[in-house]
Amino acid sequence: MNNTNMKAAVYTRYGSPEVLRIAHVARPEPKDNEVLIRIHATTVTSGDVRMRKADPFLIRFFSGLFKPKAPILGHEVAGVVDSVGSKVTRFKVGERVFGSTGMRSGTYAEYICMAEDDAIAHTPDNVAHGEAATLTVGALTALHFIQAVGLQRGEHILIHGASGSIGSAAVQLAKAMGATVTAVCSTANVELVRGLGADHVIDYRRTDFTKGGNTYDVIFSTVGHTSFTACRHLLAPEGRYVTSSAAGSDYWHMIKSKLFGGHRVIGGISAGGAEGIAQVRDLVQVGKLKAVVDRHFPLQRIADAHRYVDQGHKRGNVVIDVAA
C-alpha cells in the first residue's frame, strides 16, 4: 500500500455480513474546509446493519436502488487529525477528535475527510479512541430526542430499550438533567442500566411494563418493540411520547397530536451536528456521560461484528479498532 491508498471495509451489494470485505481504496484528500482524520476507532451501529441489509427497503431510495452508492459504511469516528485544509481554523494536525458523519457514511476505513463544522469535536483527554467513537450517534440521538420532548428537571421518564446505544446514553442524559428514570431492559442488563443511574429498572422478561400502575411525564421508546398505543395509558395528563424508532401507528399519532392536541407524540430523525457534539463533549468532560462498550473487533473482522449486532442485543456499543 502506498500513501495515496488506504484500507477500508467495503460493500458493493446489499445483504448478509459477508458482503463486507477488506479492500484498498483511494485515500481521500481534504478540501480547504476539511480535516483528514486518521481513524483509530469506529463502531457498528444498528443503522449500519440496516444500511448493509437495505432494511427497510426505503433505505434504497437514499443509499442506492440496486446497490450501495457509497461503498464504505460506518458513521462514528475517533482518531487523530492527519492534515487540514487551508481554511481550517478549529483543528490542528495531531489533535485527537471524535464525531459522527451524520447522514453520510465512510468510517470503516483508515482515513476520512470531514468539514470542520461537521459533528466533530476534540476528544477529552481521559477518553480512549475506542470509547470516544461510541459517544456520537447514540448520544446525539438521545440528546436530540430528550431536548425535542422538553424533558424537565424533576419529571419522570421511562426509557424503553435502555441498554442499547441510544438508551444507555438517554439514561445518563436524563439523570444529568435531574429527571427520575425508569429503565426497561432484559435480565442480563439490569445491573448495567442501574449503574448508569436508572432509579428504577423493569426487566421486560419478567414484567410487562405496560401493565404497571405508574404514570410517566415522558416515555422514550428507543428500539421499537413498543408503541404509543401500547403506552398511552401510562402517560400523565401532560405526558409526551418520544420515539427514535417509530413504526406503524406511531406515525399517525405524531400527525394527530400535532393537528388535534392530546398527548404529544414526537419522532423523526436526529439532527446531530456540531452543536450537539460540543454538548456531548462537555457532558463527557464533567463525568455526566460515559461510553458503554460491549465488545471490540478489529477492522478485519467487520463481518463478525455485523453478525453480532444483527442479533439485536448489543449492550451499548460495538467498537471497531482500525489502527492497531
Ligand X SMILES: NC(=O)c1ccc[n+]([C@@H]2O[C@H](COP(=O)([O-])OP(=O)(O)OC[C@H]3O[C@@H](n4cnc5c(N)ncnc54)[C@H](OP(=O)(O)O)[C@@H]3O)[C@@H](O)[C@H]2O)c1
Residues that bind ligand X (CB under 6 A): 45-47, 50, 137-138, 141, 160-161, 163-167, 184-186, 188-189, 204, 222-225, 244-245, 269-270, 312-315
State how far the Cα of 218 lies from the Cα of 201, in Å rounded to an integer: 16
Which positions ≥6 away from 55 have C-beta within 8 Å? Answer: none
Q: How far is CA 197 from CA 130, 181, 285, in A?
A: 22, 8, 17
SS3 state of residue 25: strand
- Smallest gap from residue 311 Cβ to ligand X (A): 9
C-alpha cell at 2: 502506498
User: Least distance in Å: CB of 135 to ligand X?
Assistant: 13
Least separation in angstroms between CB 158 and ligand X: 12
Closer Cβ to ligand X, 130 or 167, answer by number: 167
Q: How far is the CB of 96 from ligand X (least distance, A)?
A: 24
Sequence-distant contacts of 1-5: CB under 8 A, at least 24 apart: 3/27
Tell me which residue has its CB nearest to ligand X. 164
Complex with ligand X: residue 160 or 175, whichever CB lies closer: 160
Residue 171 to residue 216: CA distance in whole angstroms:
15
Question: Which cell numbers in the block locate residue 165?
Answer: 446505544
Among 292, 319, 308, 42, CA closest to 142 = 292
Nearer to ligand X by Cβ, of 166 and 284: the residue is 166
Cell 430523525 maps to which residue?
269
Q: How far is the CB of 36 from ligand X (least distance, A)?
A: 26
Q: Which is nearer to ligand X, 82 or 245 (CB)?
A: 245
Residues in the chain: 324
In angstroms, what is the minimal distance from the CB of 45 to ligand X?
Answer: 5
> Which CB sits closer to ligand X, 55 or 282?
55
CB of 204 to ligand X, least distance (A): 5
How far is the first Cα of the chain from the last one, in angstroms, to the nearest whole number? Answer: 16
Query: Looking at beta carbons only, is 223 or 305 nearer to ligand X?
Result: 223
Q: Which is nearer to ligand X, 84 or 133 (CB)?
A: 133
Residues 6+ apart with CB under 8 A from 278: 121
